[in-house]
Amino acid sequence: MSKLKRFDISEISKKVDLHVKFVKFEMPNPFMLSSAPPTTTGEMIMRAFEAGWGGAVAKTIVPDKTYVFDYANRFGSFKLGDNIIAFQNIEEVSKRTQAEWEADVKEIKKRFPDRLLVGSLMAEADPEEWAKLARWADEAGFDMIELNFGCPHGMPERGMGAFVGQRADLTEEFTKAVVKEVSIPVMVKMTPNVTDIAYVAEAAVRGGADAISAINTVLGIIGIDIDKMEPLPSVGGLSTPGGISGPAVKPIGLRCIADIAKAVKVPLSAIGGISSWRDAVEYMLVGATTLQVCTAVMLKGYRIVKEMIAGLANYLYDKGFSSPAEIVGKALPKITTWHDIYKVGWVAPGPVVPKIDYDKCIRCGLCHVVCQDAGYQAMQWDPEERKPEVDEEKCDACSLCMQVCPVPGCITWTERTKPWQPKIKGEFKPH
């Protein structure tokens, strides 16, 4: 619970400064629009800045000679109830010319000099093509360049996008080709569709990258129409794997940012399932300085930034911090290996067992069912009282009951009342 009214930051702003420094730029807040449909034109970007966004990455610009087109019905979604938890697109990059973008950049920087404007670029698999496009972006007036090495659909078939980002050697080579040709900072956008994203990020930094952004979309198929027996989104009965975004990819994004933060020492811009200020805080805690948003804006509009700004300010104030920079990477040291957790001593069945708050319990019996069918048969059911009870001797402290309980705070941890011995098979030998 915030100490001040939720969206009233007139007073809280005196104690919390949301300005962030990203590479060499000062931004009024860490929230940015990622390179995507919400940044299709300069007019859209300016409306976003009016709404309060601290920065924006223009929809990926390619050389004028590059053929770009889009299919009708190029979006798809996966829902739980009425909520979209995953979104798919097979949309390509910007269809606007370099001249059109150049005119937009001048107007944007004239009206919003304090906002970070990043030019997302993509060229063919030729270092000189990348260098040429980067020189143009520098001269056009962008504050920073983002190299799109991550687009997972359409472009890789032409040696672009993830075709580059899935190879550390090309990532390093093309980054180096761009860096030596421009006077503005260079950020590399990573694809999550690799075995080791930190390895590729290291290659980008060796190439001279000033910052890393991650993640681009996750390659997937959003669903199958079981009546028509065709993949979605359907384009005349056909489809192709596309980029998955939205809340469902946040766990992947968090893992990738954490891996990258541990591997390199350049500033990070997080992307992937950021829908609220809470998501933003999570990404900052694992190492991100700025937060890029796309899908949430596509579903709710630019206005969501006001709640994000207010929520972040209230969170920082409640926790006793005066700026976002103070929380960047705070949780990172606690992300470790499976073997290192062993040292903490929480070995099953552990020193704790679930405790049920019967004042909150609605007697749905779900904890009992899942413990019987997918756990350790520790959650018993009292037929007379019609309530679940924990068998401490059987409980292996897996927490499945807590995960499925529909009532927040109904099941929590408590200390065991009986002596216990860890159930361990074999001898522990760390690698």
Nearest to 277 by CA among 240, 318, 239, 242: 318
The DSSP code for 191 is P
Distance CA 142, CA 119 (A): 6
The beta strand positions in 288-399, using DSSP E, are 290-293, 352-356, 379-382, 387-390
Distance CA 60, CA 34 (A): 10
The CB density around residue 129, as the number of other CB atoms within 10 Å, is 19
Residue with tokens 């107007």: 107
**Phi-psi category of 229—alpha, beta or left, where left has phi over 0 and alpha has psi -120 to 50?**
left
Distance CA 410, CA 307 (A): 29
Decide: helix, strand or coil at residue 176.
helix
Kindly report the length of the chain.
Answer: 431
| Consecutive H or E run containing 250 | helix 250-263
Residue 93 · residue 36 · CB < 8 Å: no
Joined together, the tokens standing for residue 338 give: 């499976």
Amino acid code (one letter) for 406: P
Amino acid code (one letter) for 3: K
Of the residues 151, 395, 401, 405, only one is catalytic, namely 151
Q: Annotated catalytic, 151?
A: yes
Nearest to 64 by CA among 101, 29, 110, 105: 101
Q: Please report the DSSP string for 288-323 in residue order.
A: -SEEEE-HHHHHH-TTHHHHHHHHHHHHHHHHT-SS
Decide: helix, strand or coil at residue 165.
helix
Q: Say if residue 154 is exposed, middle or buried (CB neighbours under 10 Å; 0-12, 13-18, 19+).
A: buried
197-206 vs 168-179: helix crossing angle, rounded to 10: 30
List active site positions.
151
